[in-house]
Structure 1
């Protein structure tokens, strides 16, 4: 045991002086559970104040030490989107989906952000017919994937209703809107939404 006391604890087999020791004051390899919780709460507090860039920086630190945690990737995606970093938001959500494809909030946010992208392009007139179909198809797949795992999600039902309205699928649009209104008291069908869903 004593002959190994000068070896670097990283497991490289090198002497500490020649390996990580000079950087140990700069690098922290992990956080305790309570430290992680404190960081998440700090990110939530910053987000509540509209400081989404600062919140995302904290979450970036957390995701480096917990790269397989879908909750952190999901939170990071939300903060990126709120900060106007849309492409990075999709990347974070896809990373979270890759880490755990069963986590319902990531399915929902991928669907919601895809639908939001479709609506922005639709309203600006920058949408080709093929691209419109592709975005709506993906949004519907993700939102349905969320409902497979969380069937009582009023938000998912509401956004699916809007997506189906754009697809001119009145039957499914009405069915999901009815469920959204029943589940979420804050929801009501937008006026004229089935005929001209230019939301």
Structure 2
């Protein structure tokens, strides 16, 4: 398979980004299952939630990259830069769109935001929220290509990387240079997720290994 092209996402990428992530996280995702416990509701509302978040959070914050094969989006990485907090004027203005997407799940969505805030280190960091590939090309290096671009960005900023994941993904993120540093629970009775952190690597050390 050809090497994917990784670049910053644009508004023109929103539709294929939603398609890729909705397919990648359609099954066995504890976060979406917590936010939308009913499967029928989840399959209907989760893509709308993704669209609103990409449009009003990740793109404006500069926290979105895509991987392409033959000019087709096949992978997506979404993250928050250091100091970013969900909310603010932009989201207030987009309130009706978020409400239409979330329905009665707004509180559970806020629980996820709060858990990520608790999991985030105090040091400068980038917080990855979604890393997914089209199921048709999973296990072909798409996620690793996106994450390599991410680690390069973080190391150039001297920033750590942080994220939360289910037990089944701990080894995957360890292989990408992360360590498990704890756990965080969604809400008061939701699932417990692992906190994964990758410390920044000095560029001169990285260059010596290249």
Q: TM-score range by the shorter chain?
A: under 0.3
Structure number with the bigger relative contact order (C-alpha 8 A, sep ≥ 6) is: 2
TM-score by length of 1: 0.27
Greater strand fraction, Structure 1 or Structure 2: 2
TM-score by length of 2: 0.26
Greater helix fraction, Structure 1 or Structure 2: 1
* Greater Rg over alpha carbons, structure: 1
